[in-house]
Structure 1
Amino acid sequence: MQPQTSPHIPSVKKDTGWKVWWMLLRPHTLSAAFIPVTIGTVLAMHEGSIKLSLFIAMLVASILIQAATNMFNEYFDYKRGLDNEASVGIGGAIVRNGIKAKTVLNLAFVFFFAATLIGIYICFMTSWWIAAIGVICMLAGYFYTGGSIPIAYTPFGEIVAGFFMGNVIVLIAFYIQTQTITSKAFFISIPISILVAAILTANNIRDLDGDKENGRKTLAILLGRKNSIIFLACMFIVSYLIIFILIVANFISFWSLLVLISIPKAFSAVKLFIGKKFPIEMMPAMKATAKTNIQFGFLLALGLFISYFM
């Protein structure tokens, strides 16, 4: 399959030096790791004191698992022949920058091993039930693109990504600080999980044509490009509506309305997809979606933090 090109579309540049490894981590996706941990930890402050060491450990472990998942994605898509030198939205370490595929795979396992060691510390300080959940999270990360039927190739990618990187991480971060799970923590994790899933939706909209040619059955392919953009907009709208509902229900304070500051970025993410055809043209929309997650999550955490002192 020849990559789509146009004289009006800029080519994907080759990375050099440290940037090769940095881009392999796919930094625009790492917000899906640190935002849920931050939300869960700040929320735990309302239940009592928190341990900074547990917050840092959970944060690092989550980022390692997310980065490893990205590397598995890079490796397995390469092995299946889905990536080429002109592919956008990938680290490009293998097809563009000459890193051996085996090196990328081994590095992913090293990151998993490091996350496991940190997980042991978290379990020692809290509960060994966390170990079982951690293993399930890592298996989800591996089988997202690994195995005979990768999750990423099905319509269930958003559900899996949103659940594990949104709900589960928020609740674990909350639990290791409080030793309990509350309905408040669960409901607050929902908009976070939706916005994590939105990052994947944006990714699949960008890759829709290539994914279709390679036999994937993502939700974006089933809905079509136009309906997928509408679906993405609905994900943003629902996330903001849930915050309003939680405020009205007195689960959180009016300070959480700070999330409204992120609306322009969400609007931009949707607008930047409209009328675009080539994947590289849609990269700004993809980045805007990730930034919406960052802004929304940071502002929600800030609102929860301020309300703690009120």
Structure 2
Amino acid sequence: MAQWTAGARPRTLPAALAPVVAGVGVAAAEAASRGGGLDDLSPLRALLALVVSLALQVGVNYANDYSDGIRGTDDDRVGPMRLVGSGAATPGAVKRAAFLAFGVAAVAGLVLAALASWWLLVVGVLSVAAAWFYTGGATPYGYLGLGEVMVFVFFGLVAVVGTVFVLVESLPAAAWAAGTGIGALACAILVANNLRDIPTDTVAGKRTLAVRLGDARTRGLYVLLVALAAVAVVAVAATTSWWALLGLGFLAVAGPACRVVLGGATGPGLIPVLGSTGKAELVWALLVAVPLVLAT
């Protein structure tokens, strides 16, 4: 199962690191603006935030595999192998793996809430619910074209702003800008995944945003999200340090992916775009955060 979680779902594990990396960078800049520095940030809180992010990512991977598998959505899958759909694992085993990962996230989140603020418990409950009901439950919102909205909110804004908050206990403008950039690229991963799956999702009755928009407009949406991530770099730099503009280097990874998408690639031809976009998200975070940390 460990091998499967590394690349089979729309969001990859490298991308799950990005919100925490970006959050640490913004938190360092905020600490510096108060006359402090990196030493003012708690390594324990940063580590716990990372555990929450990774555990939620693994949990949503398994949860989506389970829910799509039992619905038959993956019966004619184009992308990488799915456990339930391929018969490689039983639905019960995959469901247990999902809830084990959610449990790890909950424990780490509980400790974070005790260290920072108890209102984070509400955020944690909503995050787990969003992860499960993306494809789970009687009316999964991922089947209604709302997946991108929730990914932007929870894997972008909530993940980045939450990381910044637990480290500096404030919500600076740069945190929202960074959350927007990370959220845009997180959405782009899902958009590319759903673009690839338009034919099979249409047959399965899965009305994703890509199915609703159609092929051409979905490709345009992918490029728009990459452009939004670039604008977000500028916004972070304007509210912290202009060294953060180095973050625009993520376009070296995202640019080729845009060319593939605009070039009309379909089916298996879009699979590399998922990995490239996940890498672009992590590169975005690193190239923004590292200069901010070094500038403290």
TM over 0.5, yes or no?
yes
The runs of 4+ residues in structure 1 deviating greater than 3 Å are: 24-28, 88-91
User: Once the 2 structures are TM-superposed, how far is the Cα of residue 157 of structure 1 from its aligned partner?
Assistant: 0.9
> What is the aligned partner in structure 1 of residue 273 from structure 2?
285
> Take 2:182 and 2:162, find their aligned partners in 1: how far apart are those partners?
14
Question: Match for residue 167 of structure 2?
Answer: 177
Name the SS for the 2:79 alignment partner: coil
Q: Equivalent residue for 1:103?
A: 93
SS at match of 1:111: helix
Which residue is equivalent to 2:285?
297
The aligned amino acid for 1:281 is: G
Shift of 1:276: 2.2
Q: Is the 1:255–1:306 Cα contact (8 Å) retained in structure 2?
A: no
Q: Is the 8 A contact 1:74 1:91 kept in 2?
A: no
Q: CA–CA distance in 2 between the matches of 1:124 and 1:297?
A: 27
Q: Which residue of 2 aligns with 1:39?
A: 22
- Output the CA distance in 1 between the equivalents of 2:260 and 2:128: 33
**Post-superposition offset of 1:130:** 1.0
> Are residues 24 and 101 of structure 1, via their aligned partners in 2, closer, same or farther at CA, if it must alter by over 3 Å?
farther
Counterpart of 2:223, as a letter, is A
User: Which letter maps to 1:195?
Assistant: L
Q: Distance in 2 between matches of 1:83 and 1:217?
A: 14
1:24 positional shift: 3.3
Q: 1:138: how far off? A: 0.3
Shift of the 50–91 alpha-carbon distance from structure 1 to 2, 3 Å rule, reads farther
Query: Identity, % of aligned pairs?
Result: 28
Change (3 A) 1:187 1:77: same
**Residue 74 in 1 paired to residue 65 in 2?**
yes
Aligned to 2:251: 263
Q: Which moved more, 1:207-216 or 1:268-277?
A: 268-277
| Structure 1: segments with no counterpart, 5+ residues | 1-19
Of 107, 117, 126, the match for 2:116: 126
* Greater mean deviation of Cα atoms: 108-117 or 257-266: 257-266
Do residues 64 (structure 1) and 55 (structure 2) align?
yes
Cα distance, 1:296 vs structure 2 = 1.3
Q: How many residues get paired?
A: 285
CA offset digits 1:56-103 (Å, max 9, x no partner): 11101111011101111000111001113x624355223336211110
Partner of 1:200: 190
Say if 1:194 and 1:236 are closer, same or farther in 2 by CA, change over 3 A: same
Q: 8 Å contact 1:24–1:90 — kept in the other structure?
A: no
**Residue 65 of structure 1 contacts residue 112 of structure 1 at CA under 8 Å; is this kept in 2?**
yes
Q: Which residue of 1 aligns with 2:209?
A: 219
* Equivalent AA in structure 2 for residue 297 of structure 1: A
More off after superposition, 87-96 vs 178-187:
87-96
- Which gives a bigger RCO, structure 1 or 2 (Cα 8 Å, sep 6+)? 2
Asked whether the 8 Å contact 2:173–2:239 carries over to 1, the reply is: no
Aligned-pair distance for 1:244?
A: 2.5
Question: When you count helix as a share of all residues, which structure comes out higher?
Answer: 2
**C-alpha displacement of 1:31:** 3.3
Residue-by-residue CA offset, 1:267-301 (whole Å, 9 max, x unaligned): 21122232323x21211122222221121122111
Q: TM-score, normalised by structure 1?
A: 0.86
Larger radius of gyration between Structure 1 and Structure 2: 1
Letter in 2 for 1:37: V
CA distance in 1: counterparts of 2:245 and 2:5, whole angstroms? 35
Amino acid paired to 2:283: Q
Structure 1 residue 108, shift from structure 2 partner: 0.7
- Tell me how far apart the structure 1 counterparts of residues 199 and 224 of structure 2 sit (CA, whole Å): 22
Structure 2: distance between partners of 1:64 and 1:25: 13
Judge which range, 109-118 or 21-30, deviates more: 21-30
Letter of the 2:161 counterpart:
L
Amino acid at match of 1:145: T
Cα 1:118–1:131, aligned 2, differ >3 Å: closer, same or farther?
same
Which 5+ residue runs of structure 2 have no aligned equivalent? Answer: none
CA displacement at 1:25 relative to structure 2: 5.0
Aligned to 1:210: 200
CA offset digits 1:130-172 (Å, max 9, x no partner): 1111011000001011012212112221111111011001111
1:132 counterpart letter in structure 2: V
**CA contact under 8 A between 1:43 and 1:304: conserved in structure 2?**
yes
AA at the equivalent of 2:219: I
Matches of 2:4 and 2:220, distance apart in 1: 29
Question: Deviation digits for residues 227-249 of structure 1, max 9, x if unmatched?
Answer: 211111111112212322443xx
Q: Which residue of the partner structure matches residue 11 of structure 1?
A: none
Tell me the distance in 1 between the aligned counterparts of 2:227 and 2:242: 18
Q: What is the TM-score with the length of structure 2 in the denominator?
A: 0.90
